[in-house]
């Protein structure tokens, strides 16, 4: 499992380079969340959460693994850092939820999508809160800059990730 945790940390870093900037937002669209969802669902809580901790530590150490090839504590303390902290909590939580239902019905597509939706809520709640405080904007502006524009893409990522997780095992 350690190898798979490392792989998902690397995939999350690679997902940071597949980026679409949004002109009015400090938050770009990336594939990172896709890999966070898969890590939690496929690696479960311990290894999924650990994979995102490794990813975060690589960025803190100076490797260019955050969106746009950025790194360092400045990113974590900046307007987008909350999303990265959310990656850890989301992967762990998705894994915990997956563990609870795994024996009952082998985590079908709907259950995986539901678990991953909880993960999305966690990521965006963490990102929203930090964006609001660091950028010194109100809740409406933070939602408009850092949450609402991303939801259609997150729905697509969730459906694809849930399908992959429900049809493949590690």
What are the tens digits of pLDDT across the range 62-77? 999 999 899 999 999 9
- Read off the CATH number of the domain in which 41 is found: 1.10.1760.20
The DSSP secondary-structure symbol of 169 reads -
E strands in the chain: 19-20, 29-30
pLDDT of 23-46, one tens digit each? Answer: 888 888 899 999 999 999 999 999
SS3 64: coil
Domains held by the chain: number: 1
Angle between helices 81-105 and 109-134 (to 10 degrees): 160
By residue range, what is the domain housing residue 48? Answer: 2-167
What is the overall mean pLDDT for the chain? 93
Q: Is the pLDDT of residue 120 over 80?
A: yes
**Which residues are registered as beta bridge partners of 29?**
20
The token pair that represents 50 in the structure block: 């650990």
pLDDT of 131-145, one tens digit each? Answer: 999 999 999 999 999
| Mean pLDDT to the nearest integer, 159-165 | 95
| Mean pLDDT to the nearest integer, 81-106 | 87
Q: What are phi and psi of 72, to 5 degrees?
A: 95, 165
Which are the contacts of 34, defined by CB distance < 8 A and separation ≥ 6?
Answer: 15, 157, 160, 161
pLDDT band, very low/low/confident/very high, at 80 (cuts 50, 70, 90): very high
């Amino acid at each position: 499992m350690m190898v798979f945790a490392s792989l998902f940390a690397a995939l999350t870093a690679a997902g940071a380079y597949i980026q679409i900037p949004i002109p009015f937002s400090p938050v770009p669209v990336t594939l990172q969340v896709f890999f966070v969802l898969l890590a939690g669902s496929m690696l479960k809580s311990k290894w999924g959460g650990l994979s995102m901790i490794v990813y975060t530590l690589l960025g803190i150490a100076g490797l260019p693994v955050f969106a746009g090839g950025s790194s360092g504590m400045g990113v974590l303390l900046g307007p987008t850092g909350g999303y990265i902290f959310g990656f850890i909590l989301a992967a762990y939580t998705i894994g915990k939820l997956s563990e609870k239902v795994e024996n009952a019905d082998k985590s079908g597509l709907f259950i995986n999508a539901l678990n991953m939706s909880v993960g999305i809520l966690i990521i965006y709640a963490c990102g929203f809160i930090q964006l609001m405080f660091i950028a010194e904007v109100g809740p409406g502006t933070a939602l408009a800059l850092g949450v609402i524009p991303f939801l259609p893409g997150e729905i697509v990522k969730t459906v694809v990730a849930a399908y992959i997780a429900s049809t493949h095992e590690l």
